[in-house]
Amino acid sequence: MNNPTTIRIAQAQLNPTVGDLSGNLGLITEAMDQAARAGAHLVTFPELVISGYPPEDLLLKPRFLTDCARTLERAAAAAREITAVVGYPEVQGGRVYNAAALLHQGRVLASYRKRELPNYSVFDELRYFTSGPHNLLLEVQGVRLALTICEDLWELDNGVAPAVRALGAQVTLNISASPFYAGKLAVRRQTLAAYAARAGTYVFYTNMVGGQDELVFDGGSMVIAPDGAVLASARRFQPDLLVTDLEIADHGEGPKVRPPDQLIALPRQTTTGPAAPMVLAPEMERLDEIHQALVLGTRDYLRKCGFSTAVLGISGGIDSALTAALAVQALGADNVIGVTMPSQYTSGDTLSDAEKQAANLGIRLITVPVKEVYDSFLDQMAHAMGPGPAGVAGENLQARIRGTILMTLSNRFGWLVLTTGNKSETAVGYCTLYGDMAGGFAVIKDVPKTLVYELSQHINHRAGREIILPSIIERPPTAELRPDQKDSDSLPPYEVLDPILQAYVEQDKGLDELQAMGFDPAMVQEVIQMVDRNEYKRRQAPPGVKITPKAFGRDRRLPISNRYRPGEKPL
């Protein structure tokens, strides 16, 4: 048996910003310095960390690609004291590759090009990238490491794992930008463990962290043993540098690398400093991870878009209370403004709770009554609207007046408007275009109503006090746009509606399958019809944090002009 050797690998879990090449470079060079001081032989960075992920149609701009290449050269120049693996968009022969550059002693030694390009869910990589056909192996401290990028490890039948085993690799380095949804970490661990077993290697998986538009990257970088055990893991929802010592047998001669595969052998270094311990980050429960994703996604959306302050309507209902609480945790109370906009239908209890909730969060509250504005609208439009009660048009007019007030304050002071609608309402169209849908960011857009209640109670439990008022949690949900209105007047109870929506929207189950699950056929048909006919509303909704496996927006994309109706009788 060959003598064991120790290799020290650092995994830099960073929060880059798409297009901020100089800012991303600063994060990379700082992490290189930290890894070098920790005595690491090698440091890995997330997928496309130079450009940020996903850069989308920036990749169609030649100048952007040129600037990314120049930024990579500057990163290489900074890699004097440590070897680094850095993700970037590479241009060769008129084609663009999702690549990982090997930086060593001030220059780019080689690049690995991602083989598997995901083109499902939120991913559109076939629109931009060409698949790379070759493997790249590094020899560091006598240990043979295979370089891979994200999706390369997710498809076990793609030939990557058998090829890595055949090439005699002992470690697989995987740089990734894997977005979050609740429960995704367990899926990653299972996937990485299956790959490790098939390839016969350790896996050093380095993930991105941070919010980017609708997506949140939760970090959770890890080291997996060939038997699937998690040896070390980084924190989630925050930047981290995970440094791990791995004692492993020298590969000896090993299988020969076949052309056109490439092997880069680096000179051995002396390991300095104390041994790096195996670090395991604390586990997070489901509500904890959803909570942190919403806070991080909100904070990064405002920060990366250049906003410092958010404004939202405080109605006295649970959706606005939860949104306000999350905004305060993301931005600080001084950077959140609440606006209460009572009408003739606003109850005294609701108005009182809005005021108490704002005080409880420590945020400034502005009061702008809407009754006189509403009456003036109706008076001016009386001739155009004709005889009879205002009906639903009058209800929606109130919501649109409130949306106009919030957007006017946004224009006046440069505040970003946060909308407060949840996934259940968005799914069935129980929301008003240019009214409660008006705004710049929808914090709980992907949070079903039943989960809104769970999160509110969770926040109170974690804080050890009533961040969200119990009276708000306990009050039956209502839009208060007409006398004695309740959500249940127009919708099934949320505890019934949400499972139907999950099955239809997220799992693509049809009418017959939903009926087989025990749901009332008439109710199922009604819900499906509401979902289908409100695609035009969802297309105009602001972006919001993705926390479920299939979110509206980047994830679920259906045509607006569409006559296919699965809620009707089957053919």
Say which of 90, 150, 537, 546 is annotated catalytic: 150
Whether the CB-CB separation of 89 and 52 falls below 8 Å is answered with: no
| Farthest-apart Cα atoms in the chain, separation | 93
Helix 391-413 to helix 371-385 angle (10° resolution) is 130
Strands in 121-252 per DSSP E: 136-140, 143-149, 171-175, 202-206, 209-212, 215-218, 222-224, 230-233, 240-249
Q: Provide DSSP, 398-424.
A: HHHHHHHHHHHHHHHH-PEEEE---HH
Is 47 tagged catalytic?
yes
Which of 15, 5, 11 is CA-nearest to residue 301? 15
CB atoms within 10 A of CB 497: 24
Say which of 68, 90, 114, 445 is annotated catalytic: 114
Give the whole-angstrom CA distance, residue 65 versus residue 208.
21
User: How many degrees, rounded to 5, is the angle at CA 300 between CA 299 and CA 304?
Assistant: 130
Q: Is 43 helix (H, G, I), strand (E, B) or coil?
A: strand
Q: Is 33 helix (H, G, I), strand (E, B) or coil?
A: helix
CB atoms within 10 A of CB 26: 11
Is 431 tagged catalytic?
no
In sequence order, what are the residues at sequence separation of 6 or more whose Cβ sits closer than 8 angstroms to the Cβ of residue 409? 311, 337, 339, 366, 415, 417
Is 68 tagged catalytic?
no
Say which of 47, 116, 139, 289 is annotated catalytic: 47
Whether the CB-CB separation of 113 and 90 falls below 8 Å is answered with: yes
CA 526: distance to chain centroid?
A: 31
Q: Is 104 helix (H, G, I), strand (E, B) or coil?
A: strand
Whether the CB-CB separation of 46 and 70 falls below 8 Å is answered with: no
Peptide bond into 54 cis (omega under 30): yes
In this structure, the chain runs to a length of 571
Exposed/middle/buried for residue 527 (C-beta within 10 Å: 0-12, 13-18, 19+): buried
Active-site positions read 47, 114, 150
